């Protein structure tokens, strides 16, 4: 229980200091403009992988029981991870392949694939005094409603949010997600 509380407190602090503050690289917008509201409305659900439990089985249970009317975001933390960042990315890709059609989108953070100052300064240093500088010791899989994410992304695009993103990173993250979303919509 103590580890679970520490991780939940840590995730909340990471969001508060890194994602919710105005970011100098993003025209003064926060890295995650909707995070503060979701936390305030208690719409973020954090689940911790239990020791000796199968990662996919436990994550599937949480995702399949996720009430996307009640929660904006599920953050599934694994303090027992022993997989590489590339294997973790394979998990993200396979989950998106399966769940995108069910209107759920996955993203992740792995301690072995942290953003670098050269490539992703806007993700690392928002330009505030209170910088989150803890070394994260767990992976985080984030799941949220795909349609709401895409609608929010479209609004951010119109507001100029993505102008500060490096083009390659934008294409990898935003454009790829947009194309997948539209492909699914066309197939319905």
Instruction: With respect to residue 38, please indicate whether it lies within any of the assigned structural domains.
Output: yes
Instruction: With respect to residue 63, please indicate whether it lies within any of the assigned structural domains.
Output: yes
**Cα–Cα distance measured from residue 155 to residue 133, given in angstroms and rounded to the nearest whole number:** 30
Range of the domain at 35: 2-146
Instruction: With respect to residue 153, please indicate whether it lies within any of the assigned structural domains.
Output: no
Domains contained in the chain, number? 1
Q: What is the pTM of this model?
A: 0.90
Instruction: With respect to residue 13, please indicate whether it lies within any of the assigned structural domains.
Output: yes
Contact residues for 32 (Cβ-Cβ < 8 A; gap 6+): 15, 19, 20
Instruction: With respect to residue 180, please indicate whether it lies within any of the assigned structural domains.
Output: no
Q: Strand runs (DSSP E) across 65-131, as ranges?
A: 73-78, 104-109
User: Low-confidence residues of the chain, pLDDT below 70?
Assistant: 114-135
| CB distance 100 to 84 below 8 Å | no
- The CA–CA distances, whole Å, from 132 to 12, 17, 24, 52 equal 11, 5, 15, 30
Q: What is the pLDDT of residues 126-166, one digit of tens each?
A: 555 555 456 678 999 999 999 999 999 999 999 989 987 88
pLDDT of residue 104: 97
**Cα–Cα distance measured from residue 156 to residue 165, given in angstroms and rounded to the nearest whole number:** 12
CB atoms near residue 18 (< 10 Å): 23
* Burial readout 105-132 (b: 16 or more C-beta within 10 A, e: otherwise): bbbbbbeeeeeeeeeebbbbbbeeeeeb
Instruction: With respect to residue 117, please indicate whether it lies within any of the assigned structural domains.
Output: yes
Instruction: With respect to residue 168, please indicate whether it lies within any of the assigned structural domains.
Output: no
Instruction: With respect to residue 68, please indicate whether it lies within any of the assigned structural domains.
Output: yes
């Amino acid at each position: 229980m103590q580890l679970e509380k520490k991780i939940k407190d840590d995730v909340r602090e990471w969001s508060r200091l890194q994602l919710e503050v105005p970011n100098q690289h993003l025209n003064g917008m926060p890295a995650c403009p909707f995070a503060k509201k979701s936390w305030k409305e208690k719409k973020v659900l954090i689940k911790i992988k239990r020791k000796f439990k199968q990662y996919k089985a436990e994550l599937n249970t949480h995702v399949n029981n996720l009430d996307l009317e009640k929660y904006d975001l599920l953050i599934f933390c694994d303090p027992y991870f022993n997989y590489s960042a590339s294997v973790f990315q394979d998990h993200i890709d396979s989950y998106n392949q399966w769940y995108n059609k069910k209107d759920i989108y996955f993203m992740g953070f792995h301690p072995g694939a942290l953003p670098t100052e050269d490539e992703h300064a806007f993700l690392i240093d928002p330009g505030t005094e209170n910088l989150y500088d803890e070394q994260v010791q767990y992976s985080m899989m984030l799941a949220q409603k795909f349609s709401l994410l895409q609608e929010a992304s479209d609004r951010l695009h119109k507001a100029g949010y993505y102008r500060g993103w490096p083009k390659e990173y934008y294409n990898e993250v935003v454009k790829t997600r947009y194309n997948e979303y539209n492909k699914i919509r066309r197939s319905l």
